[in-house]
Amino acid sequence: MPAAPARTCLALALVSGLALPLSAQDEAQDLPITAITLYRSGVGSFERVGPVRGDASVRLRVDQGQLNDLLKSLVVLDEAGTVGAISYGSREPIERRLASFGVNLADNPSMATLLGRLRGARVKVQTADSTAEGTITSVEALQRSGGDIPITTHAVTVFTGAGVRRIDLDDIINLEFQDQRLKQDIERALAILAQERDENIRTVEVSSAGRGERQLLVSYVHEMPVWKPAYRLVLNDQREPILQAWAIVENTTEEDWRKIDLSLVASQPVGFTMDLQTPLFVQRPDVPVPGGMLARPKMYTGGGGRSPFQDGGDVPEIDLQRAMRSAPAAARESASRGRSGSALLTLESAEAFFDSAASMAAAVQVGESVVLRIANPIDLDRQQSAMIPVLTERVKARKISIYTPSESEQPMLGVDLTNSTTAPLIEGPVAVYDGAYAGDAMVGFVPRGAQRMLAYAVDMDLKAQQAQSSSSSRATYSITNGLLQSSFVRTNTKTYTLRNEADKQRTVIIEHQPMGGWDLVEPTNGARSDDGKVRFERAVDAGKSLELKVVERRTERTSVGLVDANINNLIEQVSRGERPSERLLNALREGARLNQRVADLRASQTGNQQQINAIQTDQARIRQNMQAIDKTTDLYRRYLATLTEQEDKLNELQRSATQLLRDIENAEAERREYFQKLSVQ
């Protein structure tokens, strides 16, 4: 056999349900866990490294629920050999496995249902007073009297050779199957049910072929608890505060961790679960056998490409300046003692305490993530948890008071913190110490160099009030293309009053919540936060008060079309505005004159039509009367003369109506053209 290549062979393990022959492998061995990386997304990456010799088999034991993750992520690296198949017990659905036996026990059948499925089986049935041997023919439901409510029971019918005998199931003491194969099927089905109940631990075997002794690495990912940070912040008026970070990790596996290289990653990689261990069966169509047709072969295009896994080499560490700390100072016994007799925690003793818990981690850059690598190997028993100090450094921070009137009328004691440490801060709780325990705060994700505010207690010495007032300016007007546009300015003023009752100055951050659609015009030195608030920093002297007025304005505009508007009402409205333009008023007055001209012409048209209607009505009356009198009478002749005069008048009115219609059309066109082209500032 040729020698194994000297280069490193890296292979993505191909999962197979077929176990290799035992003769081709040595006895399976275990590889110890050497490194664990925990993520904030609920998974952990495990590395197992150990020596193997010749054709080797390595055994991995994982929980049933973790097998899918292992199958999805397993990577095997043989230093100088060839990775073979990965074998594990098939997890065919239990219903399908049980259905392959002579009797189906998958649905937990009752005795009546079970015997009904065993029709035709030979049995020996024993009751208290008799024994019957024969073949099960049927199972019947029987109704029996049980007082007011009937009771349903079942009976099995057995053909004994001499006849049919019905036996109540409640009377059966013992039932024995005479068919040996059927008994074996039932025993095997029950064994599968028992195995399914106890099958919480699954074994995966990794095979590798090679010569001599070499190192084998197995890496995989499975579900793990999210590691949790917890911080301690010790404030100091003379020096920069101390920030200490602890990482809380849990070993929820069934294996003790011994001398593990532990890394903690802040990033949250995308993760999901997929059932890869259960065999997947698809419903195939039932196609009739074709007659006289030959199946044609089908050619499929192949796939290819290099493996996405490459040897990345050593990961470079970030050149981070670790904070220098002095040796722990001796704790001074406080002269002041509580009622329990224990010494109060002083600032000096607190710094000494935190300083004594040296950081055990170093921050390194891996890809796009910052990883906290624990410097010393970790021991952690199974089902146990641990707190590990991962950061102890001085940090840039200053004491402040935070007033957020949109959320609370009571200011809070807080800290303005800049992450000047060597690692990003992960979201977690912060216990703040200011001579003694001062309160708790929450911090979100803070990249290196970023700034955040923390609030940890109510500021009882700082009193705050707020008041609000609003006003509106008089409107200003302009005309653009026949639209009368008005605008006026609304002003809203919020006054924040702070009173410092402490014996030292307070630095206060006032978080103002701007109104949507309004412009902040005063003050102009605020800083906008990520959540949209504007922060104003002010110093309030001891025993003094401070007033901050925040002014916001909004300009409101309306438009009115002049063509169909009541111009006289608009003239009156504009006259009440802010310094109305005489030119604009004259333009509106001209528009009112044009509107009045059209109105006068329409009134004349209406009067003309009324005269025409009156003459036509009178003519109808005269003609009706003329039909009833003699044509030789004087009355008839007067009627005839009146009709002649009315006809002359009617012709004159109709000519006037035609002229009025033309005048109205011209006046309306002139009016509309005037307004549509009108623009006055």
Is residue 550 scored above 90 in pLDDT?
A: yes
Sign of CA dihedral 420, 421, 423, 428: negative
Q: What is the residue extent of each domain of the chain? A: 9-93+200-223, 228-270+322-334+343-398+415-456, 462-558, 568-677
Taking the alpha carbons at both ends of the chain, their separation in whole angstroms is: 99
State residue 281's pLDDT score.
63
- The model's confidence at residue 536, banded by pLDDT at 50, 70 and 90, is very high
Q: Which residue, among 80, 18, 50, 91, has the nearest Cα to 219 in the 3D structure?
A: 50
State residue 538's pLDDT score.
94
Q: SS3 sequence, 467-485?
A: EEEEEECCCEEEEECCEEE
pLDDT in tens, 203-233: 788 888 888 888 888 898 888 899 999 999 9
Bridge partners of 442, per DSSP, are 429
pLDDT in tens, 490-530: 999 999 999 999 999 999 999 999 998 898 999 988 888 88
Angle between helices 582-626 and 567-575 (to 10 degrees): 160
Percent above pLDDT 70 for the chain: 79
Calculate the alpha carbon distances from 500 to 290, 458, 535 in Å.
96, 14, 19
Q: How far from the centroid of its chain's Cα atoms is residue 492's Cα? A: 36
Question: Which positions ≥6 away from 167 have C-beta within 8 Å?
Answer: 125, 127, 132, 155, 156, 157, 158
State residue 293's pLDDT score.
43
Is residue 461 scored above 80 in pLDDT?
A: yes
Q: Which two tokens stand for residue 311?
A: 């040897």
Is residue 15 scored above 70 in pLDDT?
A: no
State residue 313's pLDDT score.
35
Q: Which residue, among 360, 279, 425, has the nearest Cα to 415 in the 3D structure?
A: 425
Angle between helices 634-677 and 582-626 (to 10 degrees): 160
Tell me what the mean pLDDT of segment 36-44 comes to: 88
- The model's confidence at residue 20, banded by pLDDT at 50, 70 and 90, is very low
Return the SS3 of 371: strand
Q: Which residue, among 349, 346, 350, 351, has the nearest Cα to 326 in the 3D structure?
A: 351
Q: Cα angle vertex 223, ends 383, 68, to 5°?
A: 125
pLDDT in tens, 642-679: 998 989 999 999 999 999 999 999 998 998 888 888 88
Q: Judging by DSSP bridges, how do beta strands 131-144 and 122-126 pair with one another? A: antiparallel
State residue 337's pLDDT score.
34
Whole-angstrom Cα distance, residue 97 to residue 281? 13
Is residue 90 scored above 70 in pLDDT?
A: no
pLDDT in tens, 248-280: 999 988 889 999 899 888 777 777 777 676 666
Q: How far from the centroid of its chain's Cα atoms is residue 397's Cα? A: 32
Is residue 290 scored above 60 in pLDDT?
A: no
State residue 94's pLDDT score.
63
Bridge partners of 477, per DSSP, are 486
Q: Quick one: CA torsion of 538, 540, 546, 551, rounded to 10 degrees?
A: 10
Tokens 């399908």, residue located: 96
Whole-angstrom Cα distance, residue 137 to residue 120? 6
Q: Which two tokens stand for residue 277?
A: 């261990």
How many residues comprise the chain? 681
Tell me what the mean pLDDT of segment 567-589 comes to: 85
Is residue 129 scored above 90 in pLDDT?
A: no
Is residue 338 scored above 70 in pLDDT?
A: no
Is residue 477 scored above 50 in pLDDT?
A: yes
State residue 294's pLDDT score.
39
Mean pLDDT score across all residues of the chain: 79
Is residue 286 scored above 80 in pLDDT?
A: no
Tell me what the mean pLDDT of segment 418-423 comes to: 88
Return the SS3 of 572: helix
Instruction: Report whether 640 contacts 629 (CB < 8 A).
Output: no
pLDDT in tens, 344-396: 334 444 455 455 555 566 666 665 667 888 888 889 998 899 988 888 889 99
Return the SS3 of 555: strand
